[in-house]
């Protein structure tokens, strides 16, 4: 994929995730069925999730991190969402109901 050349010593004009990184929507269900889909470049957005809406027809619960775009996607689908809260100490890995993203993180690696 083409990208602009970078010069040494100059900072980036953008903060956060690079616009040159590929955004992949990944999901796994309770029967270990996996879904991986390249949706574009840069950070995840609600519009990128909407492109994968057809794969989430019979979904009842989404367990995810605390990104607002995932909450919007769950509301658009009309399903319950259980999000892992952001902890300033960085040691919170489960939701209030005890769900976690361990299997999905293993899939992503």
pLDDT digits (tens, 9 = 90+) for 51-87: 888 888 888 888 888 889 999 999 999 999 888 877 6
C-alpha distances out from residue 42 to 14, 24, 98, Å: 11, 10, 30
Predicted confidence (pLDDT) at residue 92 exceeds the cutoff of 80: no
73 within a domain of the structure (yes/no): yes
pTM reported for the whole predicted model: 0.72
Q: Specify the number of domains making up the chain.
A: 1
What's the CA gap between 5 and 96, in Å, rounded? 45
> Has residue 101 been placed in a domain?
yes
Dihedral sign for Cα 96, 80, 71, 105, please. Answer: positive
In a domain, 85, yes or no: yes
Q: Compute how many other C-beta atoms are within 10 angstroms of the C-beta atom of residue 85.
A: 10
Question: Range of 68's domain?
Answer: 44-108
| Contact call for residues 57 and 36 (beta carbons, < 8 A) | no
């Amino acid at each position: 994929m083409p990208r602009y050349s970078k010069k040494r010593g100059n900072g980036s004009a953008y903060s956060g995730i690079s616009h040159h990184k590929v955004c992949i929507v990944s999901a796994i269900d309770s029967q270990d069925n996996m879904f991986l889909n390249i949706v574009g470049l840069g950070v995840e957005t609600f519009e990128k999730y909407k492109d994968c809406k057809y794969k989430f027809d019979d979904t009842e619960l989404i367990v995810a991190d605390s990104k607002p775009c995932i909450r919007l996607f769950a509301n658009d689908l009309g399903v319950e969402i259980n999000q892992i809260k952001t902890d300033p100490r960085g040691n919170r890995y489960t939701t209030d109901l005890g769900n976690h993203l361990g299997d999905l993180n293993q899939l992503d690696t």
